[in-house]
Structure 1
Amino acid sequence: MKQKETQNYQSLVNTVIEIVDREDASRDQKLQQICELLEEHIDEFDWVGFYLVDPKADRELILGPYIGEETDHTRIPFGKGICGQAAETNETFMVQDVSKEDNYLACSVHVEAEIVVPVKKDGKFVAELDIDSHTKDSMTEEHRHMLEKVCGVVSPLF
């Protein structure tokens, strides 16, 4: 990774920390700002959103704040699709070509790659950050590390 990218990603994480620490915004407003920040500053990120564990449903995700095209996938059972797999396993999933995945839920015909990062609070899965790209092979290990840091920073919001 180039030094400039490292500084840029660290700067994004620092901005996320500032957003989370704000006292004049709700959790959803903060999550929305984080989605907008990531989509605006990383060219490969075309859809950025949070799926939250639905407290009223057994093992189901509900769509939270996001930026990008509307999606029909507002509720996803654990285990279904890439988002459901991340919820089921509590692990990051990075898919470079969604057309090669048997369990992929197509959110848009434009999506080529996806990364889903769990948000854990006290070791328990509470939400996830889902990012789609319109470019195959566009998700990097640097993206993964930065997004895992972001998810660690947002976990106190839950």
Structure 2
Amino acid sequence: MSFTHLKQKVTTILADESENTDQRLKEVCELLQSSIGYYDWVGFYFANEVEKTLHLKAFAGEPTDHTVIPFGKGICGQVAVSNQNFVVPDVKAQDNYIACSITVKSEIVIPLFKNGKNIGQIDIDSHMEDPFSEEDERFLEWVNEEVANIL
């Protein structure tokens, strides 16, 4: 499914005010994970500024033990500090990587901003090496902008 078609579906999911925010986030994760062949795990983490940790709020894919991640640790934790997109073509090449599964080969993490503040992120794992393009980055930035509107 093209990113254009996915945008329409994401917009529809997020606009459904009959469901709570957590359920809409889970549906977005499920949509992306089931629609894009190389998105094997999709999740939203949100920051707890006091504790300097990220907390998994919604996901699609295999369950993970990594439901709380300290700022600075792993790819997600680094994005919480840097406020920058992080595309990892090969996770084996990263020193500061938290292995969720031996099948994960690459990862992309895009920060989620609300009123200019990094409040969380979307995290995607792939079982393929180097599948993520600039088009993925732009699409996921758009997803996060749309999600911020319902938070």
- TM-score by length of structure 2 reads 0.96
2:92 aligned partner: 99
| Seq. identity, % | 45
CA distance in 1, matches of 2:82, 2:4: 27
Q: Which runs of 5+ in 1 are unaligned?
A: none
Structure 2 residue 34 is matched with structure 1 residue 40: yes
Secondary structure in structure 2 of the residue aligned to 1:125: strand
Structure 2 residue 70 is matched with structure 1 residue 58: no
Which of 69, 74, 78 is matched with 1:81 structurally?
Answer: 74
Instruction: Report the CA distance between 1:9 and its aligned residue.
Output: 0.3
CA distance in 2, matches of 1:148, 1:13: 12
Q: 2:136 is matched by which residue type in structure 1?
A: H
Instruction: Report the CA distance between 1:20 and its aligned residue.
Output: 1.2
Indicate the larger mover: 96-105 or 15-24: 15-24
Structure 2 residue 62 is matched with structure 1 residue 69: yes
Secondary structure in structure 1 of the residue aligned to 2:128: coil
Q: Which runs of 5+ in 2 are unaligned?
A: none
Secondary structure in structure 1 of the residue aligned to 2:11: helix
Runs of 4+ off more than 4 Å: none
Instruction: Report the CA distance between 1:58 and its aligned residue.
Output: 2.2
Q: 2:14 is matched by which residue type in structure 1?
A: V
- TM-score by length of structure 1 reads 0.92
